[in-house]
Chain A
Amino acid sequence: MTPSVNGNPLRDPRDRRLPRLPDACALVVFGVTGDLARKKLLPAVYDLANRGLLPPGFALLGFARRDWGHGDFADMARDAASKGARTPFREDVWERLAGSIRFVPGSFDDDAAFDRLVAELKSLEESHGIRGNAAFYLSIAPSAFPVVLKQMQRTGLASDAEAGGWRRVVVEKPFGHDTASARELNELVDDVFGPDSVFRIDHYLGKETVQNLLALRFANTLFEPVWNSHFVDSVQITMAEDVGIGTRAGFYDQTGAARDVLQNHLLQLLALTAMEEPVSFNAEAIRNEKLKVLRAISVPEDKKSFAIRGQYEQGWLAGQRVKGYLEEADIPADSRTETFAAVQLGIETRRWAGVPFYLRTGKRLPRRVTEIAVLFKQAPHLPFDATDTTELGHNQLVIRVQPDEGVTLKFGSKVPGSAMEVRDVAMDFLFGEAFTESLPEAYERLILDVLLGDATLFPNNAEVIESWRVIDPLEEYWAGTSPERYRAGEWGPAAADEMLGRTGRAWRRP
């Protein structure tokens, strides 16, 4: 007999035409009326349904403090899905999904509401055959976690054994605001669900290019031999946004750029860039390697020079005048929260000793772009006249995470003509804007992985704690300082440029 998957003879590991479908299950979303649920979650669920990637017995359950019936929620979800879906919105696909949408009204401290939720899941067992399988998506403020988790514990919602199937929980950043609070939060969630059932979403890891970074490094012979301090001069990881803080004033002013972006997205990108080869491509092996890198990160001693914060002032961006951070609604006039952070980190391993990793993130920068740039050392000897190579910079390998997902390789080339003149040129690989129209959105991929129980693309609690270990001393130092100013529409404060200028380097303009 030919090989099969999970004892199902109709599944052949060689048969890559058949997609992986999760078991029949329910996706329960807390805070389903929130921004994230409307803009990302519900459209992603629709897209999965439209691609035929949801199992026959899939049900979507909303929980929120609204006086709604199933139909009201379905209408709201329809509205969200038709606005946010990547794939064309089709009435018949929606009809089918709408038949499996339920809503449970109530507040988080209402025992009766959670009892109704339990009853609803029970009834789905009958009607959808979900066999106790459910994933709980906590799209709620972390302050609400304790009460929700306590309710789940009380009603047995979180227990695999009591449910007779798998129970998983999905949490979003922020995972705390420092090491202590993150540890507290982790213990709370891990305690209720068990560490293996907790999925922490960092949506950057769901992006194709980020996964492609692993393929680029570990499936090729070309790059890995030079992926170390012998050849790499420095690494720059940038995540820039052109938008301001939008409607998140309250949250943002408490948090700041370092906690909001540096702690999670940028450190995860750094870990994937710098990690050793995992022994296999499974969740545990990859997380182990990432954790080793995070543990080896060193924070600069001279924080004044190598840990820069900035705050945007009013300026012009994309042809429009924009307000400064302090003039934004609901921001205190004396706020010292940063909207830009740039830091130089080291990785104390044999592979990376002496290679600075420059991380920067900011709001109201000239354009929205995320990229990882590996800058190589200059050739130890150039057999040309010095004047021939004045235009030659560092060789660079740039992984463009978004937009224009792809890879750029920069190297020197002769300028055509009778003189020997070498100048930088770029070789581009484009995942292709023209070809990506049906590429899955990060949330789609991650929700599917949760339902399949594949934790490869989710950081675990140890990674979160280690990331805070890096951020805490920075925050501690920054607490007594005021952020530098930069005009909206600039690439950050001058101090960030000086940080690299000190060693004769410069930021790459993304």
Chain B
Amino acid sequence: MTTLWDTTGTEVVAALSAERRAAGALAFGLALTLVVVVDERNVKAAEQAATTAAAAHPCRLLIVVRREVTAPEPRLDAEVSIGGRLGPGEAIIMRMYGRLALHAESVVLPLLAPDAPVITWWHGDPPERISYDPLGVFADRRVTDTLHAAAPLAALRQRAVDFAPGDTDIAWTRVTPWRTLLAAAFDSVTETPSAITITGDPADPSAALLAGWFTDRLGVEPSIVAGPTPGRLTSIALTLSGGDLTLTRQDSRTAVLSRPGQPDRALPLAESDLGDLLAEELRRLDDDATYGDALSAWSGLPDLNGRSPQREHIWRDPMAPAGAGAGAATAGTAG
């Protein structure tokens, strides 16, 4: 492991190749680069999740911590390690101070694995528009987590407004186990349910996306009712002619499926930790059209998947007075 204080991007690149030589792993199978954008207070959680995910998918891990944009002098601290505490691959943690934080791409771009896909993950508040963050603009896949926003549903709506194919949200990943069981239970159902009830938290973006999915796939708009625990999805009921098909969470690992005319079954429904969720995101490097459709159905914004997957960077200075100069100036003018 190499730790660099008050360094430059060039020195980080040099430290990485020195580490690679020392590790003897010059022909590393690098499938992708994972860029993690995170606040100082969330670094531990993000590191842990990224380490789990990197164990399942060989990747170069670049963690970018933006600090104190107001600091008078720009400064870069970096930690470079291979096969250390951050999993078996290559990992670089960079802390950026001052105006450098607004130009993080100048350090990150030369560190991307050559010609391999890039995934950018914001752990914490996603940017209002991904185009505002150059670390999202060059990514092939962009992963946000609206659950961590101050107002999750508003944030999810903003994701729909700002959507481009290749975007996904961890709130969607969280419902994969539910969707798996429901799809399996539905294999033997031939009718369209007359009503669907989701019991959970009406303010939970996962419940919202699940509702969007049902609306898109079955043409039935579910109602979301408040369950006993805020923020937790408790059960889903589909009203069929013969009775209700319900899937109810039992505990953190199991759910019970009841169907008309059949005995109840206990099924695995594990609450995945953040690392597993992230690993699921790394599994696919193309856009998730099913997510686009579900988000479209929930938000009412048509044809999200039809949008261009390309974004262009829009320069925005968080320190400039609101409204002034947004979109007018170009990147690189700030100092």
Contacts and interface: CB of A to CB of B under 8 A. Distances in A.
Interface of A: 2, 4, 6-12, 14-19, 21, 23, 49-50, 52, 55-57, 90, 92-93, 96, 99, 126-129, 406, 427-430, 432, 434-435, 437-438
A7 B192 CA distance: 12
Q: How big is chain B's contact interface, by range?
A: 35 or more
B129 interface: no
The CB with the most chain B CB atoms within 10 A, among A6, A15, A55, A129, is that of A15
Nearest to A9: B217
A15 B287 CA distance: 10
B284 interface: yes
B268 A49 contact: yes
Given A4-B217, A126-B263, A434-B88, 16 more contacts: A7-B190, A8-B183, A9-B218, A15-B289, A21-B187, A52-B177, A52-B180, A52-B270, A56-B181, A56-B257, A56-B265, A96-B266, A96-B267, A99-B266, A432-B29, A434-B89
24 contacts: A2-B217, A2-B293, A4-B217, A8-B186, A8-B187, A9-B186, A10-B218, A11-B187, A12-B290, A14-B289, A14-B290, A17-B284, A17-B288, A17-B290, A18-B183, A23-B187, A52-B177, A52-B270, A56-B265, A90-B253, A96-B266, A427-B27, A435-B56, A435-B57
Nearest to A407: B29
B79 interface: no
A308 B38 CA distance: 63
B184 interface: yes
Nearest to A427: B27
Contacts of B192: 9
A93 to B, nearest CB: 6
A90 B288 CA distance: 32
Contacts of A50: 268
Contacts of B151: none
B254 interface: yes
A19 B184 CA distance: 9
Majority-rule SS of A interface residues: loop
A428 B28 CA distance: 8
Given A2-B217, A93-B268, A435-B55, A56 B185 contact: yes
Nearest to B185: A56
Interface string B44-69: 00000000000111100000000000
Given A2-B293, A23-B187, A57-B265, A428 B27 contact: yes
A499 B266 CA distance: 60
A425 to B, nearest CB: 10
B216 interface: yes
Interface in B248-268: 253-254, 257, 262-263, 265-268
B193 to A, nearest CB: 10
Interface in B287-329: 288-290, 293
Interface in B172-186: 173, 176-177, 179-186
Contacts of A8: 183, 186-187, 189
Contacts of B27: 427-429
A1 to B, nearest CB: 8
B176 A18 contact: yes
A435 B184 contact: no
B244 interface: no
A99 B268 CA distance: 13
B290 A429 contact: no
A21 B186 CA distance: 12
Interface in B191-209: 192
B105 interface: no
Interface in B63-100: 88-89
Nearest to A408: B27
Interface string B153-189: 0000000000000000000010011011111111101
B221 interface: no
B39 interface: no
A253 B328 CA distance: 83
A17 B218 contact: no
